[in-house]
Amino acid sequence: MSKDKDKDAQGFSTRAIHFGYDPASHHGALNPPVYLNATYTFESIAQGQQRFSGEAPGYVYARVGNPTQSVLEKRLASLEGGEAAVAVASGIGAITALLWSFLESGDEIVADKTLYGCTFAFMEHGLSRFGIKVHFVDLTETDALAGAVTPQTRFVFFETPTNPNMRVINIREVAKVAHAHGARVIVDNTYGTPYLQRPLECGADFVVHSMTKYLSGHGDLIAGAIIGPADDMVTVRTVGLKDMTGAVLSAFDSFLLLRGIKTLELRMGRHCESALVLARQIESHPQVEKVYYPGLPSHPQYDLACKQMKAFGGMIALELQGGYEAGVRFMDAVQVAQRAVSLGDAETLVQHPASMTHNNYTEEERLAHGISLGLARISVGLENVEDLSADILNALDQSVG
Ligand code: 4LM
Protein backbone atom coordinates (compact mmCIF):
# COMPACT_ATOMS: atom_id res chain seq x y z
CA MET A 1 0.00 0.00 0.00
CA SER A 2 2.83 2.45 0.87
CA LYS A 3 4.34 1.57 -2.51
CA ASP A 4 1.04 2.64 -4.10
CA LYS A 5 1.01 5.89 -2.13
CA ASP A 6 4.35 6.84 -3.72
CA LYS A 7 2.77 6.04 -7.06
CA ASP A 8 0.16 8.78 -6.50
CA ALA A 9 2.71 11.16 -7.97
CA GLN A 10 2.85 9.21 -11.23
CA GLY A 11 1.07 10.22 -14.43
CA PHE A 12 -2.52 9.34 -15.29
CA SER A 13 -1.84 6.48 -17.69
CA THR A 14 0.92 5.02 -15.51
CA ARG A 15 -1.57 4.78 -12.66
CA ALA A 16 -4.36 3.58 -14.98
CA ILE A 17 -2.07 0.69 -15.98
CA HIS A 18 -0.32 -0.19 -12.69
CA PHE A 19 -1.92 1.31 -9.58
CA GLY A 20 -3.19 -1.02 -6.88
CA TYR A 21 -1.71 -4.24 -8.26
CA ASP A 22 1.57 -6.05 -7.52
CA PRO A 23 2.25 -9.02 -9.88
CA ALA A 24 4.74 -10.43 -7.36
CA SER A 25 1.84 -11.23 -5.02
CA HIS A 26 0.05 -13.16 -7.80
CA HIS A 27 2.64 -15.60 -9.23
CA GLY A 28 3.96 -12.80 -11.49
CA ALA A 29 0.69 -12.67 -13.44
CA LEU A 30 0.86 -9.44 -15.48
CA ASN A 31 -2.89 -8.87 -15.24
CA PRO A 32 -4.92 -9.19 -12.03
CA PRO A 33 -6.42 -12.70 -11.81
CA VAL A 34 -10.21 -13.07 -11.96
CA TYR A 35 -11.31 -14.48 -8.61
CA LEU A 36 -14.47 -16.44 -9.37
CA ASN A 37 -15.62 -16.93 -5.78
CA ALA A 38 -18.97 -16.41 -4.14
CA THR A 39 -17.52 -17.13 -0.70
CA TYR A 40 -14.20 -17.28 1.20
CA THR A 41 -12.92 -19.85 3.71
CA PHE A 42 -11.83 -19.01 7.25
CA GLU A 43 -8.96 -20.72 9.10
CA SER A 44 -11.14 -20.73 12.21
CA ILE A 45 -14.56 -19.52 13.32
CA ALA A 46 -12.76 -16.85 15.35
CA GLN A 47 -11.07 -15.54 12.21
CA GLY A 48 -14.40 -15.47 10.33
CA GLN A 49 -16.03 -13.62 13.23
CA GLN A 50 -13.24 -11.03 13.25
CA ARG A 51 -13.56 -10.49 9.51
CA PHE A 52 -17.33 -10.07 9.77
CA SER A 53 -16.99 -7.55 12.60
CA GLY A 54 -14.29 -5.61 10.73
CA GLU A 55 -11.64 -6.34 13.44
CA ALA A 56 -9.54 -8.33 10.93
CA PRO A 57 -9.00 -7.63 7.23
CA GLY A 58 -10.05 -10.18 4.62
CA TYR A 59 -12.86 -11.22 2.35
CA VAL A 60 -15.99 -12.98 3.58
CA TYR A 61 -18.52 -13.07 0.72
CA ALA A 62 -18.44 -11.63 -2.79
CA ARG A 63 -21.47 -9.36 -2.40
CA VAL A 64 -19.20 -7.28 -0.14
CA GLY A 65 -15.91 -7.52 -2.01
CA ASN A 66 -13.67 -9.56 -4.29
CA PRO A 67 -9.89 -9.25 -4.91
CA THR A 68 -10.26 -8.42 -8.63
CA GLN A 69 -12.82 -5.74 -7.73
CA SER A 70 -10.48 -4.39 -5.01
CA VAL A 71 -7.73 -3.69 -7.57
CA LEU A 72 -10.26 -1.83 -9.69
CA GLU A 73 -11.46 0.19 -6.68
CA LYS A 74 -7.91 1.25 -5.71
CA ARG A 75 -7.24 2.30 -9.29
CA LEU A 76 -10.47 4.33 -9.52
CA ALA A 77 -9.73 6.12 -6.23
CA SER A 78 -6.26 7.02 -7.48
CA LEU A 79 -7.49 8.31 -10.85
CA GLU A 80 -10.24 10.44 -9.26
CA GLY A 81 -7.95 11.68 -6.46
CA GLY A 82 -10.22 10.20 -3.77
CA GLU A 83 -9.50 8.19 -0.62
CA ALA A 84 -11.50 5.09 -1.57
CA ALA A 85 -13.96 3.69 -4.11
CA VAL A 86 -16.75 1.12 -4.30
CA ALA A 87 -17.40 -0.56 -7.66
CA VAL A 88 -20.97 -1.69 -8.30
CA ALA A 89 -23.12 -3.31 -10.96
CA SER A 90 -24.41 -0.21 -12.81
CA GLY A 91 -24.35 3.58 -12.83
CA ILE A 92 -27.85 3.63 -11.36
CA GLY A 93 -26.60 1.09 -8.77
CA ALA A 94 -23.88 3.61 -7.82
CA ILE A 95 -26.31 6.52 -7.41
CA THR A 96 -28.87 4.46 -5.46
CA ALA A 97 -26.28 2.69 -3.25
CA LEU A 98 -24.75 6.05 -2.29
CA LEU A 99 -28.06 7.79 -1.56
CA TRP A 100 -29.69 4.82 0.22
CA SER A 101 -26.62 4.68 2.50
CA PHE A 102 -27.24 8.13 3.96
CA LEU A 103 -30.76 9.44 3.30
CA GLU A 104 -33.63 9.32 5.76
CA SER A 105 -37.27 10.21 5.39
CA GLY A 106 -37.62 14.01 5.68
CA ASP A 107 -34.24 14.70 4.04
CA GLU A 108 -33.97 16.82 0.92
CA ILE A 109 -31.74 16.88 -2.17
CA VAL A 110 -31.05 19.75 -4.53
CA ALA A 111 -30.39 18.41 -8.03
CA ASP A 112 -29.62 20.09 -11.32
CA LYS A 113 -32.58 20.31 -13.68
CA THR A 114 -30.98 18.12 -16.35
CA LEU A 115 -30.22 14.53 -15.39
CA TYR A 116 -29.99 11.22 -17.27
CA GLY A 117 -33.58 9.90 -17.53
CA CYS A 118 -33.35 7.02 -15.02
CA THR A 119 -31.49 9.21 -12.48
CA PHE A 120 -34.34 11.72 -12.80
CA ALA A 121 -36.94 8.93 -12.43
CA PHE A 122 -35.22 7.62 -9.27
CA MET A 123 -35.13 11.08 -7.72
CA GLU A 124 -38.48 12.48 -8.83
CA HIS A 125 -40.65 9.35 -8.78
CA GLY A 126 -38.66 6.92 -6.58
CA LEU A 127 -37.26 8.85 -3.61
CA SER A 128 -40.48 10.88 -3.22
CA ARG A 129 -42.30 7.63 -2.25
CA PHE A 130 -40.03 7.40 0.80
CA GLY A 131 -40.53 10.96 2.08
CA ILE A 132 -37.43 12.45 0.45
CA LYS A 133 -37.94 15.69 -1.45
CA VAL A 134 -35.83 16.64 -4.46
CA HIS A 135 -35.69 20.27 -5.62
CA PHE A 136 -34.61 20.62 -9.26
CA VAL A 137 -32.85 23.90 -10.05
CA ASP A 138 -30.62 25.31 -12.76
CA LEU A 139 -27.20 24.84 -11.16
CA THR A 140 -25.48 26.87 -13.89
CA GLU A 141 -26.94 29.76 -11.84
CA THR A 142 -25.30 29.32 -8.43
CA ASP A 143 -27.80 31.77 -6.89
CA ALA A 144 -30.56 29.26 -7.64
CA LEU A 145 -28.83 26.80 -5.31
CA ALA A 146 -28.75 29.19 -2.35
CA GLY A 147 -32.51 29.70 -2.80
CA ALA A 148 -33.27 25.96 -2.85
CA VAL A 149 -31.11 24.73 0.06
CA THR A 150 -32.92 24.20 3.37
CA PRO A 151 -31.70 22.88 6.75
CA GLN A 152 -32.92 19.43 5.55
CA THR A 153 -30.70 19.43 2.43
CA ARG A 154 -28.25 16.51 2.70
CA PHE A 155 -26.90 16.43 -0.86
CA VAL A 156 -26.48 18.55 -3.97
CA PHE A 157 -26.37 16.30 -7.04
CA PHE A 158 -25.43 17.11 -10.64
CA GLU A 159 -23.84 15.91 -13.85
CA THR A 160 -21.33 18.08 -15.72
CA PRO A 161 -21.48 18.22 -18.68
CA THR A 162 -25.16 17.31 -18.40
CA ASN A 163 -26.77 14.46 -20.31
CA PRO A 164 -28.04 15.22 -22.93
CA ASN A 165 -27.81 19.02 -23.40
CA MET A 166 -24.17 19.57 -22.40
CA ARG A 167 -24.67 22.35 -19.84
CA VAL A 168 -21.50 22.83 -17.77
CA ILE A 169 -21.77 23.42 -14.01
CA ASN A 170 -19.14 25.15 -11.88
CA ILE A 171 -18.12 22.47 -9.37
CA ARG A 172 -16.10 24.86 -7.15
CA GLU A 173 -18.92 27.41 -6.90
CA VAL A 174 -21.60 24.82 -6.17
CA ALA A 175 -19.39 23.14 -3.53
CA LYS A 176 -18.79 26.48 -1.81
CA VAL A 177 -22.52 27.24 -1.49
CA ALA A 178 -23.47 23.66 -0.57
CA HIS A 179 -20.81 23.41 2.13
CA ALA A 180 -21.81 26.76 3.61
CA HIS A 181 -25.24 25.16 4.19
CA GLY A 182 -23.89 21.83 5.50
CA ALA A 183 -24.82 19.84 2.38
CA ARG A 184 -22.47 17.43 0.61
CA VAL A 185 -21.87 17.45 -3.14
CA ILE A 186 -22.17 14.48 -5.52
CA VAL A 187 -20.93 14.86 -9.10
CA ASP A 188 -21.84 12.32 -11.77
CA ASN A 189 -18.56 12.37 -13.74
CA THR A 190 -19.68 9.91 -16.43
CA TYR A 191 -19.42 12.42 -19.30
CA GLY A 192 -16.19 13.99 -17.99
CA THR A 193 -14.20 10.93 -16.82
CA PRO A 194 -11.33 11.43 -14.35
CA TYR A 195 -9.06 12.14 -17.31
CA LEU A 196 -10.92 15.34 -18.26
CA GLN A 197 -11.96 16.60 -14.80
CA ARG A 198 -11.56 15.60 -11.16
CA PRO A 199 -14.53 16.91 -9.18
CA LEU A 200 -13.07 15.92 -5.78
CA GLU A 201 -10.13 18.25 -6.39
CA CYS A 202 -12.67 21.04 -7.07
CA GLY A 203 -14.40 20.53 -3.71
CA ALA A 204 -17.01 17.83 -4.43
CA ASP A 205 -17.46 15.19 -1.71
CA PHE A 206 -18.39 12.22 -3.89
CA VAL A 207 -18.05 11.20 -7.53
CA VAL A 208 -20.31 8.63 -9.16
CA HIS A 209 -19.84 6.99 -12.54
CA SER A 210 -21.63 4.89 -15.02
CA MET A 211 -18.55 2.79 -15.84
CA THR A 212 -20.64 1.29 -18.65
CA LYS A 213 -19.44 4.29 -20.71
CA TYR A 214 -15.92 5.68 -21.17
CA LEU A 215 -14.28 3.76 -18.31
CA SER A 216 -15.19 0.44 -19.92
CA GLY A 217 -14.90 2.02 -23.35
CA HIS A 218 -15.98 -1.04 -25.30
CA GLY A 219 -19.74 -1.32 -24.79
CA ASP A 220 -19.45 -4.83 -23.36
CA LEU A 221 -20.60 -4.46 -19.75
CA ILE A 222 -22.78 -2.52 -17.30
CA ALA A 223 -21.06 -1.09 -14.20
CA GLY A 224 -20.89 1.85 -11.80
CA ALA A 225 -18.63 3.35 -9.15
CA ILE A 226 -18.68 5.66 -6.14
CA ILE A 227 -15.52 7.48 -5.01
CA GLY A 228 -15.21 9.50 -1.78
CA PRO A 229 -13.91 9.60 1.82
CA ALA A 230 -12.75 6.20 3.14
CA ASP A 231 -15.15 6.08 6.11
CA ASP A 232 -18.12 6.94 3.88
CA MET A 233 -17.07 4.23 1.42
CA VAL A 234 -17.18 1.68 4.27
CA THR A 235 -20.79 2.77 4.87
CA VAL A 236 -21.64 2.60 1.17
CA ARG A 237 -20.18 -0.93 0.96
CA THR A 238 -21.79 -2.28 4.11
CA VAL A 239 -25.16 -0.50 3.83
CA GLY A 240 -25.86 0.69 0.29
CA LEU A 241 -24.19 -2.20 -1.52
CA LYS A 242 -24.43 -5.13 0.91
CA ASP A 243 -27.87 -4.59 2.42
CA MET A 244 -29.89 -2.10 0.38
CA THR A 245 -29.16 -2.68 -3.32
CA GLY A 246 -27.05 -5.86 -3.57
CA ALA A 247 -25.73 -4.26 -6.77
CA VAL A 248 -22.48 -6.23 -6.80
CA LEU A 249 -20.11 -6.03 -9.78
CA SER A 250 -18.87 -9.38 -11.11
CA ALA A 251 -15.17 -10.27 -10.96
CA PHE A 252 -15.07 -10.74 -14.73
CA ASP A 253 -16.56 -7.30 -15.38
CA SER A 254 -14.02 -5.88 -12.89
CA PHE A 255 -11.30 -7.48 -15.02
CA LEU A 256 -12.74 -6.02 -18.24
CA LEU A 257 -12.88 -2.58 -16.62
CA LEU A 258 -9.24 -2.82 -15.54
CA ARG A 259 -8.43 -3.66 -19.16
CA GLY A 260 -10.51 -0.76 -20.53
CA ILE A 261 -9.15 1.82 -18.09
CA LYS A 262 -5.56 1.15 -19.25
CA THR A 263 -6.35 3.01 -22.48
CA LEU A 264 -8.67 5.70 -21.06
CA GLU A 265 -6.22 8.57 -21.68
CA LEU A 266 -5.54 7.47 -25.27
CA ARG A 267 -9.21 6.93 -26.01
CA MET A 268 -10.35 10.22 -24.46
CA GLY A 269 -7.74 12.11 -26.47
CA ARG A 270 -9.19 10.68 -29.68
CA HIS A 271 -12.85 11.13 -28.61
CA CYS A 272 -12.17 14.80 -27.76
CA GLU A 273 -10.17 15.59 -30.92
CA SER A 274 -12.77 14.07 -33.24
CA ALA A 275 -15.72 15.61 -31.37
CA LEU A 276 -14.22 19.10 -31.67
CA VAL A 277 -13.70 18.64 -35.43
CA LEU A 278 -17.27 17.37 -35.87
CA ALA A 279 -18.83 20.02 -33.61
CA ARG A 280 -17.23 22.80 -35.68
CA GLN A 281 -18.40 21.22 -38.93
CA ILE A 282 -21.92 20.65 -37.60
CA GLU A 283 -22.14 24.26 -36.37
CA SER A 284 -21.40 25.62 -39.83
CA HIS A 285 -23.88 23.32 -41.64
CA PRO A 286 -26.86 25.31 -43.02
CA GLN A 287 -29.49 22.84 -41.70
CA VAL A 288 -28.30 23.13 -38.11
CA GLU A 289 -30.18 25.38 -35.69
CA LYS A 290 -27.99 24.82 -32.63
CA VAL A 291 -25.02 22.70 -31.50
CA TYR A 292 -24.31 22.00 -27.85
CA TYR A 293 -20.59 21.28 -27.36
CA PRO A 294 -18.57 22.96 -24.58
CA GLY A 295 -15.52 23.32 -26.84
CA LEU A 296 -17.29 25.81 -29.11
CA PRO A 297 -16.98 29.50 -28.16
CA SER A 298 -20.76 29.76 -28.81
CA HIS A 299 -21.42 27.47 -25.81
CA PRO A 300 -22.78 29.51 -22.86
CA GLN A 301 -20.25 27.99 -20.42
CA TYR A 302 -17.29 27.86 -22.82
CA ASP A 303 -14.98 29.87 -20.49
CA LEU A 304 -15.84 27.65 -17.53
CA ALA A 305 -15.32 24.49 -19.60
CA CYS A 306 -11.86 25.76 -20.63
CA LYS A 307 -10.92 26.12 -16.95
CA GLN A 308 -12.68 23.08 -15.48
CA MET A 309 -11.98 20.45 -18.15
CA LYS A 310 -8.73 19.28 -19.74
CA ALA A 311 -10.59 18.97 -23.08
CA PHE A 312 -14.28 18.99 -23.98
CA GLY A 313 -15.31 15.34 -24.21
CA GLY A 314 -16.83 13.16 -26.88
CA MET A 315 -20.53 14.07 -26.64
CA ILE A 316 -22.37 16.47 -28.96
CA ALA A 317 -26.06 17.43 -29.01
CA LEU A 318 -27.76 19.30 -31.84
CA GLU A 319 -31.07 20.67 -33.02
CA LEU A 320 -31.94 20.95 -36.70
CA GLN A 321 -33.91 23.66 -38.46
CA GLY A 322 -36.71 21.25 -39.32
CA GLY A 323 -37.15 20.26 -35.63
CA TYR A 324 -38.09 16.72 -34.61
CA GLU A 325 -38.81 15.39 -38.14
CA ALA A 326 -35.50 16.69 -39.47
CA GLY A 327 -33.70 15.17 -36.45
CA VAL A 328 -35.25 11.77 -37.15
CA ARG A 329 -34.26 11.99 -40.84
CA PHE A 330 -30.70 12.88 -39.76
CA MET A 331 -30.45 9.95 -37.34
CA ASP A 332 -32.01 7.54 -39.85
CA ALA A 333 -29.48 8.58 -42.50
CA VAL A 334 -26.19 7.84 -40.69
CA GLN A 335 -24.31 4.81 -41.95
CA VAL A 336 -20.96 4.65 -40.11
CA ALA A 337 -22.54 5.82 -36.84
CA GLN A 338 -24.97 3.38 -35.24
CA ARG A 339 -28.41 4.19 -33.86
CA ALA A 340 -28.16 3.17 -30.19
CA VAL A 341 -28.33 4.57 -26.66
CA SER A 342 -25.30 4.54 -24.31
CA LEU A 343 -22.07 6.39 -24.94
CA GLY A 344 -18.30 6.26 -24.69
CA ASP A 345 -17.88 3.24 -26.96
CA ALA A 346 -15.45 2.80 -29.85
CA GLU A 347 -18.46 2.98 -32.18
CA THR A 348 -20.10 6.36 -32.84
CA LEU A 349 -23.69 6.23 -31.54
CA VAL A 350 -26.64 8.50 -32.30
CA GLN A 351 -29.94 8.55 -30.41
CA HIS A 352 -33.04 10.64 -29.70
CA PRO A 353 -33.08 11.62 -25.97
CA ALA A 354 -36.78 12.65 -25.78
CA SER A 355 -38.01 9.18 -26.85
CA MET A 356 -35.08 7.07 -25.60
CA THR A 357 -32.64 7.94 -22.76
CA HIS A 358 -34.91 10.64 -21.32
CA ASN A 359 -38.33 9.09 -22.03
CA ASN A 360 -39.13 8.75 -18.33
CA TYR A 361 -39.66 12.51 -18.17
CA THR A 362 -43.25 13.42 -19.03
CA GLU A 363 -43.50 15.91 -21.90
CA GLU A 364 -44.07 18.79 -19.46
CA GLU A 365 -41.15 17.68 -17.25
CA ARG A 366 -38.89 17.30 -20.27
CA LEU A 367 -39.62 20.81 -21.48
CA ALA A 368 -39.32 22.28 -17.97
CA HIS A 369 -35.95 20.51 -17.63
CA GLY A 370 -34.63 21.91 -20.93
CA ILE A 371 -34.67 18.78 -23.16
CA SER A 372 -36.32 19.64 -26.47
CA LEU A 373 -38.18 17.17 -28.68
CA GLY A 374 -35.87 17.98 -31.60
CA LEU A 375 -32.61 17.27 -29.76
CA ALA A 376 -30.35 14.58 -31.28
CA ARG A 377 -27.30 13.22 -29.43
CA ILE A 378 -24.02 11.94 -30.84
CA SER A 379 -21.45 9.93 -28.87
CA VAL A 380 -18.37 10.40 -31.04
CA GLY A 381 -16.44 7.14 -31.33
CA LEU A 382 -12.92 6.18 -32.27
CA GLU A 383 -13.38 5.66 -36.03
CA ASN A 384 -11.28 7.78 -38.44
CA VAL A 385 -12.58 11.31 -38.22
CA GLU A 386 -12.69 11.71 -42.02
CA ASP A 387 -15.20 8.85 -42.23
CA LEU A 388 -17.27 10.23 -39.36
CA SER A 389 -17.26 13.67 -40.86
CA ALA A 390 -18.43 12.39 -44.28
CA ASP A 391 -21.16 10.32 -42.59
CA ILE A 392 -22.48 13.09 -40.33
CA LEU A 393 -22.36 15.81 -43.02
CA ASN A 394 -24.15 13.52 -45.49
CA ALA A 395 -26.83 12.70 -42.89
CA LEU A 396 -27.29 16.44 -42.18
CA ASP A 397 -27.81 17.00 -45.93
CA GLN A 398 -30.44 14.22 -45.87
CA SER A 399 -32.31 15.88 -42.99
CA VAL A 400 -34.04 18.30 -45.36
CA GLY A 401 -37.67 17.16 -45.81
C1 4LM B 1 -27.35 6.99 -21.91
N2 4LM B 1 -26.77 6.72 -19.59
O3 4LM B 1 -27.29 8.22 -21.70
P4 4LM B 1 -26.01 2.66 -16.14
N5 4LM B 1 -25.29 8.62 -15.22
C6 4LM B 1 -25.21 9.11 -16.48
C7 4LM B 1 -25.63 8.32 -17.57
O8 4LM B 1 -25.54 8.84 -18.79
C9 4LM B 1 -26.15 7.02 -17.32
C10 4LM B 1 -26.21 6.56 -16.01
C11 4LM B 1 -25.76 7.38 -14.98
C12 4LM B 1 -27.28 6.10 -20.74
C13 4LM B 1 -27.75 4.81 -20.73
C14 4LM B 1 -28.60 4.18 -21.73
C15 4LM B 1 -24.69 10.49 -16.70
C16 4LM B 1 -26.64 6.21 -18.42
C17 4LM B 1 -26.72 5.19 -15.67
O18 4LM B 1 -26.69 2.52 -17.44
O19 4LM B 1 -26.88 2.24 -14.98
O20 4LM B 1 -24.63 2.05 -16.09
O21 4LM B 1 -25.72 4.25 -15.92
O22 4LM B 1 -27.39 6.52 -23.05
Instruction: Examine the residue annotation and report whether 191 is marked as an active-site residue of this protein.
Output: no
Shared-domain flag, residues 175 and 198 = yes
pTM: 0.97
What is the radius of gyration, based on Cα positions, of the chain?
21
Instruction: Report in angstroms the alpha-carbon separations of 203 from 256, 265, 270.
Output: 30, 23, 28
Shared-domain flag, residues 244 and 282 = no
Shared-domain flag, residues 246 and 281 = no
Shared-domain flag, residues 219 and 341 = no
Give the pLDDT mean for 156-173.
Answer: 98
| Ligand 1 contacts CB of residue 32 (under 6 A) | no
| Ligand 1 contacts CB of residue 188 (under 6 A) | yes
DSSP sequence for 39-93? B---SSHHHHHHHHHTSS-S--BTTT--HHHHHHHHHHHHHHT-SEEEEES-HHH
Residues 6+ away with beta carbon under 8 Å from 78: 4, 7, 8, 15, 19, 20
| Ligand 1 contacts CB of residue 216 (under 6 A) | no
Instruction: Examine the residue annotation and report whether 59 is marked as an active-site residue of this protein.
Output: no
Which amino acid is located at 274 in the chain? S
Task: Give the single-character DSSP code of 168.
Answer: -
Which residue, of 215, 247, 262, is where some domain finishes?
A: 262
Shared-domain flag, residues 306 and 229 = no
Per-residue pLDDT of 230-274, as tens digits, reads 999 999 999 999 999 999 999 999 999 999 999 999 999 999 999
Shared-domain flag, residues 306 and 173 = no
Which amino acid is located at 305 in the chain? A
Instruction: Report in angstroms the alpha-carbon separations of 106 from 127, 128, 129, 132, 185.
Output: 11, 10, 11, 5, 18
Instruction: Examine the residue annotation and report whether 63 is marked as an active-site residue of this protein.
Output: yes
Host domain of residue 114: 3-262
Shared-domain flag, residues 292 and 195 = no
Which residue, of 262, 278, 294, is where some domain finishes?
A: 262
CATH at 118: 3.40.640.10
Shared-domain flag, residues 292 and 255 = no
Give the pLDDT mean for 108-118.
Answer: 97
Shared-domain flag, residues 270 and 380 = yes
Shared-domain flag, residues 380 and 367 = yes
Which residue, of 219, 245, 262, is where some domain finishes?
A: 262
CATH at 341: 3.90.1150.10
| Ligand 1 contacts CB of residue 373 (under 6 A) | no
Shared-domain flag, residues 282 and 256 = no
pLDDT over threshold 50, residue 54? yes
Average pLDDT, the chain: 96
Closest CA to 324 of 316, 315, 332: 332
pLDDT of 369? 85
Instruction: Report in angstroms the alpha-carbon separations of 363 from 289, 359, 372.
Output: 21, 9, 9
Instruction: Say if strands 338-339 and 349-351 run parallel, antiparallel, or are unpaired.
Output: parallel
Closest CA to 210 of 324, 350, 357, 68: 357
- Kindly tell me the number of DSSP H helices and DSSP E strands found in the chain: 16, 12
pLDDT of 3? 59
pLDDT over threshold 60, residue 2? no
pLDDT of 1? 43
CA angle 398, 270, 334 (to 5 degrees): 15
pLDDT of 215? 98
Overall domain count for the chain = 2
Q: 46: CA distance to ligand 1 center in Å?
A: 43
